[in-house]
Amino acid sequence: MPTLATDFSDVTRSEASLRRFLHGLPGVDQVGAEARAAMLGTRSIKTTAKAQALDLAIRMVDLTTLEGADTHGKVRALASKAQRPDPADPTCPQVAAVCVYPDMVATAKETLGASGVHVAAVATAFPSGRAALDVKLADTRDAVEAGADEIDMVIDRGAFLSGRYLQVFEEIVAVREACAKPDGGSAHLKVIFETGELQTYDNVRRASWLAMMAGGHFIKTSTGKVQPAATLPVTMVMLEAVRDFREATGHMVGVKPAGGIRTSKDAIKYLVVVNEVAGADWLVPEWFRFGASTLLNELLMQRTKLTTGRYSGPDYFTLD
């Protein structure tokens, strides 16, 4: 199979050709897109479907801590929780990954061991991305060397908004190369757009194609440090992009909304959008993730409500 860079070599040959391509994508009508997302948000997911959705959502969580105050202790606790989200219920699945800063990767990795829970690291001068490229690449290599399974990079929004698409493209390609592991494998690359700064859905669609063409394995809405973070319509537009990209190339790319998804109800809305816009193929942790921290306990509480038939309270779930 040819690499993607080859498939789109005509497009990415020059700033002009890349610009033509991105601006030639169909526009997104804001009102129509938001209405569609809102309609999907009215889906009523009950009983068996709800139980299925809650477990799936738990399995899709990238349990995240990205604080200046993070410590090894905090990360160890988070990693424990990731493996056993509900210590009282062994049927509760584990989450997809823990997401930390690069200097915490080793600690997370050590705690998680062979659990199958991945370690994701935010790199490339997260969250602003305002650093020289070699600094960003060094940041990435650090995290990969420390054992990160996944790298969450940020795009240079300044370059994107000023129309320097090729620069953004080349940076993603470079970071993806920096994801290479000594064993010949590669950390999975998630490309964060910070959609709250891109402002328009047209930009989100263009950024999506840019990142997919550059070889990103996932496209991700937000750092969680800028408002608005993930929204249902933004995620829908990104899901449309990965769906169309697969139609065009045969390659699947994952989607990760991050930040602002706090309730089970919200999470289920996202799953509905995944189901009805991209399709069931994306309804696996391999292709869809939630970047979240408090969401997990909400999912657990709802899960307990379904199994016990009564509402639970926060004291019955661990705070880590």
Does 91 bind another protein (CB under 8 A)? Our answer is no
From 220, 266, 269, 320, active-site residue: 220
Which of 136, 243 has the CB closer to another protein? 243
| Amino acid at site 95 | V
55 is catalytic: no
Does 197 bind another protein (CB under 8 A)? Our answer is no
Q: Is 4 left (phi over 0), alpha (psi -120 to 50) or beta?
A: alpha
Side-chain half-sphere exposure of 225, counting CA atoms within 13 A: 13
152 is catalytic: yes
Does 307 bind another protein (CB under 8 A)? Our answer is no
From 47-55, 133-141, 155-163, 301-309, span contacting another protein (CB under 8 A): 47-55
Strands of the sheet with 188-192, listed across from one edge? 254-256, 218-220, 188-192, 150-154, 118-122, 97-100, 61-64, 290-292
256 is catalytic: yes
User: Are 209 and 241 in contact, with CB atoms under 8 Å apart?
Assistant: yes
Cα(187)–Cα(122) distance, integer angstroms: 12
Does 53 bind another protein (CB under 8 A)? Our answer is yes
What is the chain's percent helix, strand, coil content, to nearest 5? 50, 10, 35
Beta-carbon count within 10 A of 142 CB: 16
Member of 9, 10, 13, 46 binding another protein (CB under 8 A): 46
Does 35 bind another protein (CB under 8 A)? Our answer is yes
Does 26 bind another protein (CB under 8 A)? Our answer is yes
Does 6 bind another protein (CB under 8 A)? Our answer is no
Cα(300)–Cα(306) distance, integer angstroms: 10
From 256, 266, 269, 320, active-site residue: 256
Does 36 bind another protein (CB under 8 A)? Our answer is yes
Member of 276, 305, 306, 312 binding another protein (CB under 8 A): 276
Interaction mask 217-256, another protein, x per CB under 8 A: -----------------------x----------------
| Amino acid at site 141 | R
The pairing of beta strand 218-220 with beta strand 290-292: unpaired
From 75-83, 114-122, 272-280, 294-302, span contacting another protein (CB under 8 A): 272-280
Q: Which residues are catalytic?
A: 152, 220, 256
Where does this chain bind another protein (CB under 8 A)?
A: 26-36, 42-50, 52-53, 56, 199-200, 240, 271, 275-276, 280, 283-284
